[in-house]
Chain A
Amino acid sequence: MAEGLNISFLWEAFFIALSGVPITLLVTIVALVIALPTGFILALSRFYRIPLLRQIASVYISFVRGTPIIVQIFIIYSSIPLMLDILFKKYNIGINIYEIHPIWYAFIVFSFNTTAILIEVFRSALQSIDQGQYEAAQSIGLTSVQAYRRIIIPQLLVVAMPNLCTATVNLIKATSLGYAFSLQEITLRTKVAANMNYNYIEAYLAIFIVYLLLCSAVEYGFKVYENRLARYQLRMA
């Protein structure tokens, strides 16, 4: 066993892992596109204590934060086919539930999870915005939608940015669990390639490097964007 790394396979695995990046990014982006507005609206419902919606949101958040993502995946992946099966049989829809592309499960699972995380991110950001900002916006004649769009949200984004970055990085990392429903993302592709010659160390090293690059790039991007958003804070100093 005392042989060194198989460099040529490591190189090969690196490119296999890279070929999974588009799927990972697609899942990440779709999840964010769904989770950002939904999370924001639900955060408002918690912030303004809207009955029912608020309670539902808080049970939902508690569940997502209280259970491992892998268990959430297991549950969604095993319950959706059951439900769809009943539905399809009832209405005689001729789709085979076992032929649904796994990426649909990925969209559902990861938006379900990320939405809950973002509710909390937005809620704490909302709490940090001085109520006087809203009052001032109204006093100059903005409607509440205008006040939010032009005054509150731009400030809120600056506050929320570091946590949004963490949430995005965590989301990217979590997509590595897509193997559980055979999603052909970074991890699964590389692992399958490694199965042939048992070159697991090289495979996981390659995956490790790709995630490192991907997440560092995302963190860097957020930092640049955050600095641009936060220009007004520099001028205040």
Chain B
Amino acid sequence: MEKYFDVSYLWEAFPVLLPFLKVTFLVVGVSVLLGTGFGILLTMAKVGSSKILRKLANGYTTVLRCTPSIILLFLVYYGVPAIGAQFGLDLNQVDKIVFVITAFTLQFAAIMSEVVRSAYESIDKGQYEAGVSVGLSAFQVYRRIIVPQALVVAIPNFGNALIALFQEGALAYTIGLIDVVGKAELIIASNYDTHALEVYLALAVIYWVLSILIEQFFLKIEKVVGKGKRSMQTV
């Protein structure tokens, strides 16, 4: 009879799993870039003067906040090709990673729009007034006074959002993407579904260590750029 728990499976999983982090990082990296851009546009709509845009942006955020990642993934995975088909586009051959990135971009944008909005709103209106009163133009005030301060406020929340995305990204395997989780599933299948626990533990260690590294990294930047900043509130 085999051992219930064999630690050698755990050690052996690491070298096989780690190369697949590339895929995970690619998904996270591109989604963060695109999602931040889209999120800033959403924030501009939220704090802007157009009522319709504001409603739309807030509605978008609410809907995305209420949608489990896995549902969003499948909606994009099945929905986008179906919409494409209506316009005569065959999107069935498109790489799965594109759908994963699309889904997480949509989700990250919703989160980022709130991160950026709360950072923007945390800056006292007096900072703007003081800026124009010393003769800066509105654009100069934003670039030199508002944005640098808002960034400091946004950094911890941005870090949290990034870690959340990194972890939600683990669900990409459900539509068949072979990232680090997908590879773990493949290893387990090749072991005839035995010793799953060891492989999952290896997976957990990888995520855990990386999450801590990301967290520490953001604490560092926060310290570096936090000069002159009053104590900040983050949750």
Direct contact of A and B (CB under 8 A): yes
Residues of A within 8 A of B (CB): 1-2, 62-63, 65-72, 74-75, 78-79, 82, 85-86, 121, 124, 163, 169, 173-174, 176-177, 187, 200-201, 204-205, 207-208, 211-212, 214-216, 219
Give 15 pairs: A residue, B residue, CB < 8 Å, sorted on A. Answer: A2-B86, A63-B204, A65-B211, A66-B163, A68-B167, A68-B170, A70-B170, A71-B170, A71-B204, A85-B4, A121-B235, A173-B67, A212-B66, A214-B66, A219-B62
- When A74-B200, A201-B78, A201-B82 are in contact, do A169 and B65 touch as well, CB less than 8 Å? yes
- When A70-B170, A201-B82 are in contact, do A62 and B212 touch as well, CB less than 8 Å? yes
What are the nearest 4 A-B pairs in CB distance? A68-B170, A215-B66, A66-B211, A173-B68
Compute how far the CA of A78 lies from the CA of B181 in the bound complex, rounded to whole angstroms: 15
Contacts beyond the supplied A67-B211, A187-B71, A204-B74: 11 A-B pairs with Cβ under 8 Å = A1-B82, A62-B212, A66-B212, A67-B167, A67-B208, A70-B170, A121-B235, A173-B67, A205-B75, A208-B75, A215-B66
Compute how far the CA of A1 lies from the CA of B4 in the bound complex, rounded to whole angstroms: 48
Contact A211 B201 (CB under 8 A): no
Closest to A190 in B: B71
Contact B4 A82 (CB under 8 A): yes
Contact B82 A66 (CB under 8 A): no
Contacts of B79 in A (CB 8 A): 201, 204-205
Contact B168 A68 (CB under 8 A): yes
* Residue with the highest number of chain B CB atoms closer than 10 Å, among A66, A207, A211, A212: A66
Contact A204 B75 (CB under 8 A): yes
- When A65-B211, A169-B66 are in contact, do A70 and B71 touch as well, CB less than 8 Å? no
Contacts of B181 in A (CB 8 A): 68, 70-71
- Smallest Cβ distance from B78 to chain A, in angstroms? 5
Contact B71 A207 (CB under 8 A): yes
- Interface size on B, as a range, is 35 or more
Contact among A1, A72, A173, A200 with B74 in the assembled complex (CB-CB below 8 Å): A200
Compute how far the CA of A173 lies from the CA of B211 in the bound complex, rounded to whole angstroms: 21
Where chain A touches its partner, the secondary structure class is helix
Instruction: Give B59-70 as 1s and 0s: 1 = Cβ < 8 Å from A's Cβ atoms.
Output: 000110111111
Contacts of A121 in B (CB 8 A): 235
Contacts of A200 in B (CB 8 A): 74, 78
Compute how far the CA of A67 lies from the CA of B168 in the bound complex, rounded to whole angstroms: 10
Contacts of A174 in B (CB 8 A): 68
Compute how far the CA of A78 lies from the CA of B201 in the bound complex, rounded to whole angstroms: 10
Contact B70 A82 (CB under 8 A): no
- Smallest Cβ distance from B56 to chain A, in angstroms? 16
- Smallest Cβ distance from A189 to chain B, in angstroms? 13
Compute how far the CA of A74 lies from the CA of B197 in the bound complex, rounded to whole angstroms: 8
Contact among A70, A72, A124, A208 with B235 in the assembled complex (CB-CB below 8 Å): A124
Contact A211 B68 (CB under 8 A): yes
Instruction: Give B4-24 as 1s and 0s: 1 = Cβ < 8 Å from A's Cβ atoms.
Output: 110000000000000000000
- Smallest Cβ distance from A123 to chain B, in angstroms? 11
Compute how far the CA of A82 lies from the CA of B2 in the bound complex, rounded to whole angstroms: 13
Contact A78 B163 (CB under 8 A): no
Contact among B75, B169, B204 with A67 in the assembled complex (CB-CB below 8 Å): B204
Compute how far the CA of A88 lies from the CA of B126 in the bound complex, rounded to whole angstroms: 68
